[in-house]
Every structure is written in C-alpha cells, then in structure tokens.
Amino acid sequence: MDKVLIKKKDDLLQYLYLKDKKIILCFAKSGDITEEVIADDCFTDFDACYDEDGNKNVIYYNQENEIIFLTQKSSEWTKKVLYAYKDKKTHISNFNLLIKEKILHIFFAIHNSNNPHEVYLIHQKWDKSWSGSNIALIKNISFTPFYNLFLDEEGNIHLIYITKEKNKHQLYYACYIKDRWSQKSLIAEAESIFFPDVIVDSEKNVHILWVEEDIIQEIKYKKKTPGSWPKGSWSSSLTLAYSNNIKSCYFTVLENNLWCTYIQNNVFFTAMSSDNGTSWSKPFKIPPFPSDYTLFKLKNIKDNLKSNYSFINSEGDFIPSLQYKLTRKNGEKDSYFTFYIKEVQEYLNILIKKIENIKEEKRLLEEELTRKNSELTIKNRNITELQELVKQISEEKAKIALKADNYNTMVNSLLLENENLKKQIKDLQNKIILLSNKIEMLQNTSTIEKIKNIFKKPDQS
C-alpha cells in the first residue's frame, strides 16, 4: 500500500507514503501539506499506526536485510533493529502492524529469491517477550494484497489469505484468539481470487469480501456469526455485484451499516446492508470521480468508521460517507435485494460474450490440436519407417553374425589342419635326421654292406 492514514482530526490528515525508498510523514490541512522524511532506506514497503499512548510506530525492511521498528515519542524518533537476516537472498514485504493494549503484532511475507513462488506468511508478537509462528505457505501468488487482517475490540485477529494449488485460487480464513491460531477454513475456490477483505462489526459478526473470476468477475460476500471458537456459523456465499473490470474492492462499517465499495469502469459503486449482511441493496453509483481520490490504508482513525481501506480526496472526504444513502431513485425498495431483471439481463449478456470468447478460444485450440495431431501422425510414420529400418539392420546384423560364425569355424578348422601339418612336417624332419645319421655311418663301408645296412631290418644284428 503506497499511503497509510494514521490519524484524522477535523480537517487534519496525518499519513505516510513511500517514495524513492523514503518513508515520508505528511500533515495535510486545508490544502497545506508539510512533509518529514523519517526513513531513507526502506527497501520494500512499510506499515504504521498509533498506540494507546499516542506514539507513532512504523515497521519496515531496509537494504541491510534488517526489520526496523521506528517509534516517535514527543518529537523524537527512536530506531530499533528487530531482526537481521544473514542470507542476502531473503526478501521481506507486505507488512502489517497492529497494536492493542501495548501488545505488538507484526505480520509480513518472507521468501527466498531462489524460490519466489513460495512465500511464508509470518506473525510476530511482542507481549513482554517475543513469540511468533509461520501462519501459512502462500504459493504462486503474484499480486498484492494477497492477505488482510482485522483487529477486533477484544484483541482477536481475523486473517484471510489467498493461495494457489492445482491451477485454482483458494481463499482461507483463520483467527488468533488467546495466543493461538485456529485451523484454517476454506472460504472460496475459483480460477482467480483477489481483493480479499475482512471486517468485524460491533455484534462480533465476521464479514468477508472478495472478488472471484471464473467466467466473469463477481464480488462475493460471506458472514460468520458469533459462535464457538474457531468456526462459528458460516453463511452461504452471496454475489453482491458482477462485472469484467472491478478494482479496489473493500468493506466499511459506518453508523452500523455495512458498505461494499469498488470501482467499475472508472466509476465508484457501492452496495449497502443495514441488517449485518443478511440482505444487500443493489449496487448504485456514487457521484465523485475516482481520479479525484486516492486509496489509503486506514489504521483505526475514526470511532464511527471501521475499514481497512478508503478512498480520500484532498479535502479529507471519505468514500463511502453518510451523504451517499439509498433512495428510491437509486434502488431502494421496501427491502434490499441484489438483482433486478435488467441486471440479470446484463449479467446474461456478459456471460454470452464470455461464452463466445470461450468458443473462439476453443476453435483456435481445436485448430492447434489438429495441427499437432498432423505433426504427430507424421512423426509416427517416421517412427514406423525408422523401426522398419532398424528391423532390416538387425536382420543384416544377424546374417553378418552368422557369416562371422561360419568364418570362425572355417578358421578354426584351418588352424587345426595347420597344426596337424606342422606335426607331420616335424615327424618327417626327425626321419630325415635319422636317415642322415645312418648314411654318415655307412660312408666307410662297401657298397654292398651299405646296401645291406640300408635294407637291414631293425631286429637283425
């Protein structure tokens, strides 16, 4: 949130805003604005509020990976480092600061830059000592605010937050009572959910507001009546309005009436309930132009107004305010209701347009599917041809292997025959040696004796 309003008294506004990493405290009165830079090292965002002693308190994250707590007593600011993170990849943002009866509650989101799609929602509490917990793991959320809080009169904290699983957004509710968090309750599930808001009225009814989008955008509402902790009794969801361009939707409790205010096509609209959300008026236009107003985050600035946000102009006028009331001209009947036939017809027209767009998307997807199927057929054909080629290569390989086996058998036979020939040659060489010896012995005898000795049998002496 760019601007946080911490005090309104008569025509004096006190608010803080962030510019160029500087947190600036502004005093606006009758068109005159004075500014004071109270911090120049805010790295992400901040939050601020007054405590019961009238001290200003600010929480933020600086470039040194430190959570800083600023307190102004009288005219002096005191700076304190609550925690320093050693890992430079740590990223902290989405601060919320709540103080009641000198008990300090700090909420923030923390993630590591290596995994920005998983964010932990942290709650730290100071009540003479620090305590805290990881409330929830927020997945795949790329917008803010993805959570909202409300501190009721008894010091209980009501939390709603959005996460995303299995390609759908889920909206959960939990409450902090007597130093412990309740189990989370699933409030809604849709293709997209944004602008969550929660508020508690004087009768302890918990009112939850959000915008969801499946085919078109719808402002949804749900109420929990007082009951046993932690669930109580939940009403069914009610659609307060629909459009295709809803922005900045928030709750306000003003003079015991519940207001739902939002911008649609650069026009303020609001719906109102005077029976604690049981029934609602048809949304009606509010005359001012949104371009003349700025959205502020509110921190308990008026006794008769309860809200987390409000549009405020340079004169200090709030949206909504009591000057904008239901009349028969803008939609009031004997009892409040949500839709007329005209609105239903407009709703159907929007649905028809969305369906036509979906049909066109379906046609394009079918064309893409046909093209992919054609590519797949060609690839399958190529795979078949490759499989046939592999089969042929395998058969050729088998034939070559068979020939190789035959050649190996032939070579082995030749080697065996060669060994036999070598043996025969060796035997012949031995016989030649014996004959040579005999010839040498007979060289000195007569020819007849030589002939006799040659033909003499071995057993004759």
**Does residue 399 sit within a domain?**
no
3-state secondary structure of 440: helix
Which CATH number covers residue 116? 2.130.10
Domain range enclosing 277: 3-348
Pair 211, 217: CB distance under 8 Å: yes
CB proximity list for 160: less than 8 A, separation 6 or greater? 147, 148, 171, 172, 173, 187, 196, 197, 198, 208, 210
pLDDT-based confidence at residue 265 (cuts at 50, 70, 90): confident
User: For position 96, what pLDDT does the model report?
Assistant: 95
Instruction: Give pLDDT tens digits for 354-403.
Output: 788 888 888 899 899 988 888 888 988 889 888 888 999 998 888 898 88
Mean of pLDDT over the chain: 85
Taking the model in full, what pTM does it have?
A: 0.72
Q: How many CB atoms lie within 10 A of CB 127?
A: 12
pLDDT value of position 338: 44
| Residue pLDDT, tens place only, 68-83 | 999 998 788 999 999 9
Asked whether residue 456 is assigned to any structural domain, the reply reads no
Sign of CA dihedral 340, 341, 342, 344: positive
- For residue 242, the model assigns a pLDDT of 84
- Most confident listed range (28-37, 114-123, 315-324): 114-123
Q: Is residue 70 part of a domain?
A: yes
Is 250:308 a contact under the CB 8 Å cutoff? yes
Is the CB of residue 279 less than 8 Å from the CB of residue 263? no
Q: Would you list the DSSP string of 69-138?
A: EEEEETTEEEEEEEEE-S-TTEEEEEEEEEEETTEEEEEEEEEETT-TTEEEEEEEEESSSEEEEEEEEE
Q: What angle do CA 175, 98, 189 make, to 5 degrees?
A: 40
Q: Quick one: pLDDT band at residue 345, thresholds 50, 70, 90?
A: low
- Give the residue carrying structure tokens 């014996």: 434
Answer whether residue 233 is part of any domain. yes
Shortest CA distance to 62 belongs to which of 93, 105, 99?
Answer: 93
The full DSSP string for 320-365 is S-TTS---TTTT--SS--S--HHHHHHHHHHHHHHHHHHHHHHHHH
Q: Kindly give the pairing relationship between strand 130-139 and strand 147-151.
A: unpaired
Question: Please, are residues 198 and 148 in contact by the beta-carbon 8 Å criterion?
Answer: yes
| Domain-located, residue 390 | no
Q: pLDDT of 402-417, one tens digit each?
A: 888 888 888 888 888 8
In a domain, 182, yes or no: yes
Q: What is d(CA 175, CA 171) in angstroms, rounded to the nearest whole number? A: 14
Q: Is residue 414 part of a domain?
A: no
Provide the number of structural domains found in the chain: 1
pLDDT, tens only, 93-123: 999 999 988 899 999 999 988 888 899 999 9
Range with the poorest average pLDDT among 139-143, 160-164, 296-300:
139-143
The answer to whether residue 447 sits within a structural domain is no
Q: CB–CB of 94/123 below 8 Å? A: no
